[in-house]
Amino acid sequence: MQHSDVPRSKPEGISPHALDNDVLLHELEQLHRTRHETFLYGSEDALQRHTLRTGQLEAEYLHRFPHRQVTAARTRAGARAREAAARATSLPE
């Protein structure tokens, strides 16, 4: 039995817009950490909720930090450079 004076949390969670930056980042870290397990072992409903919530929080993060630092190695050009370097080191001398 629930008490009427206890606030019920919304099933969709707190609006991403209402989260402080630190809380938003913490929530994203938690979701990313639990994604693989949810994907493998979660119910269809749990996977859909996880996907939806992750998308909401990621969209809010990108909205707040549109000019976030992007590591060159995490771009297509960086991936091509890694592949070229790997090919060069695997060639016989």
The DSSP secondary-structure symbol of 66 reads: T
Q: How far, in Å, CA of 51 to CA of 37, rounded?
A: 13
Considering only residues 92 and 81, tell me which one the structure prediction assigns the higher pLDDT: 81
Backbone angles phi, psi at 51, to 5 degrees: -65, -45
Mean pLDDT of 27-41: 97
Return the number of other C-beta atoms located less than 10 Å from residue 78's C-beta. Answer: 13
In the chain, what are the domain boundaries? 16-90
- Residue 12, pLDDT > 60, answer yes
The end-to-end CA distance of the chain, in Å, is 75
Per DSSP, helices labelled H in the chain are 21-41, 44-64, 76-90
pTM to 2 decimal places: 0.71
